[in-house]
Structure 1
């Protein structure tokens, strides 16, 4: 009787992950966020990205099969951080406290993440439909959280909760274009101002 040779286990053949895998990947995403924010997604090539980040094209493709994969990572990671802030705020206490905590958390995240935030605001239509849908779903989840808090705080204006939520994000989402952290107003005070004006 002839016995078949045992198959090699997949895990035995897998290459071990480099100890600085995450560091290199993060460096690629950060460089891409900067270039996409300044030149736009369409105006940035993989070659330009590699040159700006100081790594080879082959390294970029080792981590990301396509330029769109990098764009998706820039947006998803930024949004995941904001979703985490919203979830943390939801445990802060009453509706007023939660809304202030959310606004403060978001503005703190925006500082230092201007490039990623700009890319999220301006380049969403460059993603394929299914990826765009995933990003939009997270955005709607955040908006729904704020909408619910507004309805709780202003029951008499519950029918206007969604427009008010959108106005709220209109106030805070563009602060990266003018806000300076070292100015006379810090992020927490700015967040409180946005909440106070929205609830007035």
Structure 2
């Protein structure tokens, strides 16, 4: 007889992933052990193995969940009726707001993605690429000349992400209002340069 799935299966799985993100961010993926994960989760190792057969499986599910949700949240924004500048402002703001509460996942994404098999990395990097292309297209709407120079367009896109990641990494306790204020600053800099401030 097949084992039934507990009613709280998804909640427990989410708890394991959030706890694992803390451990992987703090200890590093390579140094983290299943015993540490179990302690952080407040459950037994056997219970973790009920959900995941390995530490690698936890890492992949955590990053896949995080990046998939981030991609969907940003690329799925309803931007109809907004002009190019307003689209940029909205997307920049929503990226920074979406980062809130995901400090550990973001750190693990940066440091742990390369620990996964190539086919899993390809999937996860695909989510990242979709976000980059989405923002890149909006930047090009605001500065059409960038479409003719892919290298500069990529540099401009990654510069915006760099500004957002700086704030995110150094202001982890910032509330939504502070994130929105900084997002407006990034948008002003991007659209107008220093003269726009």
Q: TM-score range by the shorter chain?
A: 0.7 to 0.9
Measure, in 2, the Cα distance between the counterparts of 1:94 and 1:68.
Answer: 43
1:187 match: secondary structure: helix
Q: Which residue of 1 aligns with 2:156?
A: 164
- Per-residue deviation at 1:177? 2.2
Kept in 1: contact 2:75–2:134 (CA 8 A)? no
Number of matched pairs: 187
How is 1:176-195 mapped onto 2 (pairs within 5 angstroms)? 176-179=168-171, 180-182=173-175, 186-195=178-187
Cα pair 2:21 2:62 within 8 Å, conserved:
yes
**Structural mapping, 1:50-199, within 5 Å:** 50-92=38-80, 93-158=82-147, 159=149, 160-179=152-171, 180-182=173-175, 186-199=178-191
The structure showing larger relative contact order (alpha-carbon pairs under 8 Å, at least 6 residues apart) is 2
* Cα distance in 1 between the residues matched to 2:131 and 2:137: 10
Using structure 1 for the length normalisation, give the TM-score.
0.87
CA–CA separation in structure 2 for the residues paired with 1:182 and 1:72: 29
Q: Tell me, what secondary structure is at the counterpart of 1:123?
A: helix
| Equivalent position SS for 1:14 | coil
Runs (5+) with no aligned partner, structure 2: 193-197
**Partner SS for 1:19:** coil
**Whose radius of gyration is greater, 1 or 2?**
1
Check the 8 A contact 1:85/1:102 in 2, yes or no. Answer: no
Normalized per residue, the structure richer in helix is 2
Aligned to 1:6: none
Please give the TM-score of this superposition, normalised by the length of structure 2.
0.88
TM-superposed deviation, 1:96: 2.1
Aligned position for 1:5: none
Structure 2 counterpart SS, 1:174: helix
Deviations 1:114-152 (A, max 9, x none): 111111122111111110111111111110111111111
- Secondary structure of the corresponding residue to residue 120 of structure 1: helix
2:92·2:187 contact (CA, 8 Å) conserved in 1?
yes
Gaps of 5+ in 1: 1-12
User: What is the alpha-carbon root mean square deviation over aligned residues?
Assistant: 1.7
- The structural deviation recorded for 1:182 is 4.8
